[in-house]
Amino acid sequence: MEESCGPVISVVKVWFSLIVGLIMLPAMFGVSLGITETYMKILIKTLEWATMRIQRGAKVQKIPDSPTNGIIQRADSSLEQEIGELRRSRPRPQEGGDFTLSDVFYFGRKGIEAIVEDEVTQRFTSEELASWNLLTRTNINFHYISLRLTILWGVGVAVRYCILLPLRITLACIGITWLVIGTTLVGFLPASRAKNWLSELVHVMCYRICARGLSAVIHYHNKENRPKRGGICVANHTSPIDVVILANDGCYAMVGQVHGGLMGVIQRAMERSCPHIWFERSEMKDRHLVAQRLKDHVNDKGKLPILIFPEGTCINNTSVMMFKKGSFEIGGTIYPVAIKYDPQFGDAFWNSSKYNMVSYLLRMMTSWAIMCNVWYLPSMTQEEGEDAVQFANRVKSAIARQGGLVDLSWDGGLKRGKVKETLKEQEQKKYSSMVVGEDSSGSGSD
């Protein structure tokens, strides 16, 4: 029995020694040995060859091009502008309301567009790829292209599931275990600068280990704008790993609901060493209580910046949807951050209505890699005469411009709910006031 277990124990020892020596320790101290860079170079060359082979095969098999920007091209104009274009060629009414049957064409076209491809629900599905990355297929069914491509795909499956998956699971377990143990030990120390320094060190080290476990390649831009203590960091939300991506470059105070199980153990351990803000489910419904706790945290300039995702749900890496105004009613300085993932190497978007957390993490750990860009934008404060909604929209627009994302005013809550009646009424009032307003102005001029 001992003889049969001997080789297995030796293999396990070698496995952990390589992980600790080549990946874990360099990650903890922010040092790169060039392994990830070499892997990415090989991966890029491989995918470039595969793309060229697919393109040649597509011409032979007459596979149609895949639309990457949607079926419908929408003009960036308002209801008033579009209806105005339809009315431009018709004569002014002599009397009565300013209404014409040509208005029906506008609403009919909008209805058909919404049925064929509305601009909201498509933000809750994975981003379409221009070409197959040997990992996630596009909407085009690539069946058999060539023998070499099929063999390459098979080798890729073996590498991802037999090498990368065990490696990443091991690193994730090490990172989470070290986070729980490290923050618990730091929590026993008395409040001091040394405790704060050790707490931040433990947090950053653990997040870096987890990032290496996903083969994450992160490019940070404009580091001089990084969030400072006593501020609020707001970012667009694509995936739960957004926290890992941002925390690799600095420590943040997290905000969220209290959980049970393993997540609850991690939350309690983290709170012992750092002033994170966790709410009970009953407290989350009390907006005043939540706002007060956030204000108390922001007013203490010695505490870490709060990390908040104002969209409230994950969007598919193509757009930024409505920011909830609560984060912008607290006061203080807002530090916007734009995050944009490269879908060529793996789909970071979490479609929570389709995949549970375990399935999502399995997909992440069997992807090629996670590559993303992070832009720190200049800090922003609420201007005089600007309410919380206007401030939130201004910050959202800045993030969308920097990240090359579509700026949408729709609520991300539509991922699981229906359009509120108030939104329908707003559109109805716009059209009604436009008709009545033009009627009254037209009668006055006559």
Closest of 338, 342, 312, 337 to residue 326, by C-alpha: 312
| Neighbour-count burial for 42-67, b at 16+ CB within 10 Å, e otherwise | ebeebbeebbeebeebbeeeebeeee
CA distances 13 to 76, 176, 210, Å, are 60, 20, 21
Tokens at 28, concatenated: 């903890």
Per-residue pLDDT tens for 204-250? 888 888 888 888 889 999 999 999 988 899 999 998 889 999 998 88
Answer yes or no: are the C-beta atoms of 365 and 212 closer than 8 Å: no
Average of per-residue pLDDT values in the chain:
78
Q: Is the pLDDT of residue 181 over 70?
A: yes
Q: Is the pLDDT of residue 60 over 70?
A: no
Per-residue pLDDT tens for 184-208? 888 888 888 888 888 888 888 888 8
pLDDT of residue 102: 63
150 band by pLDDT with thresholds 50, 70 and 90 = confident
Q: Is the pLDDT of residue 288 over 50?
A: yes
Q: What's the rounded Cα separation, in Å, for the pair 364 and 348?
A: 7
Establish how many alpha carbons lie within 13 A of residue 243's alpha carbon, considering only the half-sphere containing its beta carbon: 15
What residues contact 401, with CB distance under 8 A and at least 6 apart? 407
270 band by pLDDT with thresholds 50, 70 and 90 = confident
Q: Please give the torsion angle defined by the CA atoms of residues 319, 322, 327 and 329, in that order, rounded to the nearest 10 degrees.
A: 140
Q: Name the residue with higher pLDDT: 176 or 60.
A: 176
Tokens at 305, concatenated: 């910046």
Average pLDDT estimate for 270-296: 77
Tokens at 350, concatenated: 């979490």
CA distances 121 to 10, 86, 107, 129, 155, Å, are 52, 28, 19, 17, 35
Q: Name the residue with higher pLDDT: 444 or 283.
A: 283
Q: Is the pLDDT of residue 148 over 70?
A: yes
Q: Please give the torsion angle defined by the CA atoms of residues 168, 349, 232 and 311, in that order, rounded to the nearest 10 degrees.
A: -150
Q: What's the rounded Cα separation, in Å, for the pair 127 and 118?
A: 15
